[in-house]
Amino acid sequence: MSNVIHKPRHYWAAGSNRIRDVFRLAYLFATELSAAGAVEIIVRPVKSRRTLEQNAKLWAMLGDISRQVEWPVNGVMQKLDSEDWKALMTAAARQEIRMAQGINGGVVMLGESTKRMTVAELGDVIECMYAFGADKGVTWSEPKGQMPEQWEAAA
């Protein structure tokens, strides 16, 4: 084997019929790595990540809020884009705020990626958006489908 340093690889199977194939790929990779030294193998259940339906609902709802609600920024009421609303909503759902000093001064609020959220976590964000929207009179246009209660049960 050459002196190439390999990045870790993640393999997952969404059902027992794929386990053999996934283990075969992991075995080949581990065999290649073992020529350079010890290898660590971790097997664990996967947390259910957000669904495509949840993601579609999230962005539709963020679009609705961004078109219908003004929010104070630096003391001025204005419309925010969907990315800004996502940062606000994920912080509200998590009930925590992360701040950093800006490069040129000021304060920057650090958002959280929804890509890594579980089904239940993104369900919490969507629930928070429903509550906020009800308070602000937002008319929803998001695609119909599973409700957050069903997403939480799937987690």
- The model's pTM is 0.60
Q: Which residue from 143, 142, 141, 137 is spatially nearest to 69, judged by alpha carbons?
A: 137
The whole-number pLDDT of residue 143 equals 61
CA 70 to chain centre: 25
Task: Please tell me which residue, 7 or 146, carries the higher pLDDT value.
Answer: 7
Q: What is the mean pLDDT of the chain?
A: 81
